Structure 1
Amino acid sequence: MSNILVFDSGVGGISVVREIKQCLPNVTIDYLFDNLYYPYGELDEPTLINRLVSLLKGAVKNHPPQLIVIACNSASTIALPALRAAFDIPIVGVVPAIKPASKLSRSKVIGLLATQGTITRTYIEELKQEFAADCELINVGSNELVAMAETLYRGGDISSRRLLEICNPIFQQADVMILGCTHFPLLANELNKIKPQGLTVIDSGKAIAQRVQELLNVEDSDKKTPDGILNHRALYTKSVSDTSLTAALFSEGFNEICVINP
């Protein structure tokens, strides 16, 4: 049976896990919360690269996966080359869905909703020039939305008015909005309540799941455990006493939650 390691500093990668489980219902998933270093988007590049290489070396040694998913845009854009050089197993990163957005847009005005760190990176402009040169790209960066997604996932309330204020530059001009942070699909229901009727919202989750499916042995991933139960694990790097998060993870299908020292 195939085992996948998915990681992020917070709950953002849960949106990716959902897509993988939908595409590959018979794989086991270890979700690694690097909550000791949350949030990744605020770390400088050398710190993030060194942290992830060290973290994953320990995690892979203790819990060997067949494939790793970097379920974070910041980590993917900064650390992916270093991680691929450090490991001999497939590693899948996250790229904002600029290419499909350009194909979907009728007005040729697309919006990118991401963290502040993501929208300021040069690779965003490189993606635009390669895949959406004929489009206007409206960038909105907000780290506040990450915290809002974390709150909502735990069952808390967020301000629809504030969400509208943040997204309004895109809402007013674009006909396609890209969710360029894995946290943001967790806000999808709230976004759908306030977005303009003609606006299409997309993210990279399904494309990531499809890439995972391509890289794994399909026949192997179709096999079930002997008892038919999949052991999905949520692993922390720092202990937490957040019962609302624990409850959310159990409801997500994780049946083991523990702290590791990779």
Structure 2
Amino acid sequence: MPELQIIYFADDAYFPYGLLPEQVLRQRLREVVSAMLLQHKPELVVLACNTVSTLVLPDLRAEFDVPFVGVVPAIKPAAQMTQSAVIGLLATPATVKRQYTDQLIKDYASHCCVVRIGSSELVEQAEMHLSGYPVDQALLARVLAPFKQEVDGSRVDVVVLGCTHFPLLKDQLSALLPQVSWVDSGEAIAKRVQHLLAGEQGVIPGQDLSTKNAIHQIYFSEMTPNEEVFSESLQALGLAQYQLHCFSASMD
């Protein structure tokens, strides 16, 4: 959907979300969403964070009159793909412990053993990689070590990337575990967004208008990154034209 304008908000002032107390995260998301909806009035909001989606998605849908699309760990497709019946879940410490995650596993992977790894260090590595810094390969190897262990004679053959930061490290992760298939929710979320925006008419707003060169708006809550380095990462993600901003949604 390259014809659509994206308003992206990176809450680096409260990074990483996976270590925040639940009540703090609930309050923060409510303030951020309120401020951004007031300023931009988008047609749809994607909560591009598993930690947030597994905690506050129902609350936000109930409070705000705009469609929300959440991102949750791709447990179902992983359970369908596995041949060994042992799958891995790589996410934040908060996401791996969520009741929502437990329910996903119960509903879709009850026949599997799920090896869970919660890591905030990988979130930091993904952010550094996005900003042009090298990835700490030794740290990645240490974090992934449990996926190499046998479980009742079988090994992990599919890993769910249960954090939206982690696909940024997919090449590095694959190099360390080349025998593993890596699954994330990206494609499913894109299809869901396309379906909701198209509606009954089957046409996405702006699709036939002169918006193919839309200028995307990117906000950071604490500080904007080095634009020269950051630009390369955005270009790789298909965001050719953009403007960077600082944004404040302070908590009392």
TM-score bracket for the superposition, by shorter chain length: 0.7 to 0.9
Partner of 1:6: none
Partner of 1:7: none
- d(CA) in 2 for partners of 1:119 and 1:186? 19
- d(CA) in 1 for partners of 2:234 and 2:95? 31
Residue pair 2:87, 2:112 contacting (<8 A) in 1 also: yes
Residue pair 1:26, 1:221 contacting (<8 A) in 2 also: no
Task: Give, in angstroms, the shift of residue 147 of structure 1.
Answer: 0.7
- SS of 1:54's partner is helix
The one of 229, 241, 245 equivalent to 1:258 is 245
- d(CA) in 2 for partners of 1:250 and 1:162? 25
Task: Return the TM-score normalized by structure 2.
Answer: 0.88
| Closer/same/farther in 2, CA of residues 227 and 53 from structure 1, 3 Å limit | closer
Task: Return the TM-score normalized by structure 1.
Answer: 0.85
Task: Give, in angstroms, the shift of residue 127 of structure 1.
Answer: 1.1
- d(CA) in 1 for partners of 2:51 and 2:131? 23
Partner of 2:91: 114
Task: Give, in angstroms, the shift of residue 49 of structure 1.
Answer: 1.0
The one of 170, 177, 188 equivalent to 1:207 is 188
- d(CA) in 2 for partners of 1:136 and 1:166? 19
Aligned AA for 1:52?
Answer: L
Query: Over residues 181-206 of structure 1, what are the superposed CA-to-partner deviations in whole Å (9 max), with x where a residue is unaligned?
Result: 11100001111212132x11111111
Task: Give, in angstroms, the shift of residue 88 of structure 1.
Answer: 1.1
Residue pair 2:224, 2:244 contacting (<8 A) in 1 also: no
The one of 204, 211, 226 equivalent to 1:242 is 226
Aligned AA for 2:166?
Answer: F
Q: Please say if 1:216 is aligned against 2:197.
A: yes
User: After the TM superposition, which residues 173-184 of structure 1 pair with which residues of structure 2 at under 5 Å, given as runs?
Assistant: 173-184=155-166
Q: Please say if 1:231 is aligned against 2:215.
A: yes
Task: Give, in angstroms, the shift of residue 95 of structure 1.
Answer: 0.9
- d(CA) in 2 for partners of 1:250 and 1:139? 30
State the Cα RMSD in Å: 1.8
Task: Give, in angstroms, the shift of residue 250 of structure 1.
Answer: 4.9
Give every structure 1 segment of 4 or more consecutive aligned residues whose post-TM-superposition deviation is greater than 4 Å.
Answer: none
- d(CA) in 2 for partners of 1:225 and 1:165? 49
What is the number of equivalent residue pairs in this alignment?
A: 238
Residue pair 1:72, 1:182 contacting (<8 A) in 2 also: yes
- d(CA) in 1 for partners of 2:59 and 2:229? 31
Identity of aligned residues (%): 38
Task: Give, in angstroms, the shift of residue 244 of structure 1.
Answer: 5.5
Residue pair 1:148, 1:158 contacting (<8 A) in 2 also: yes
- SS of 1:258's partner is strand
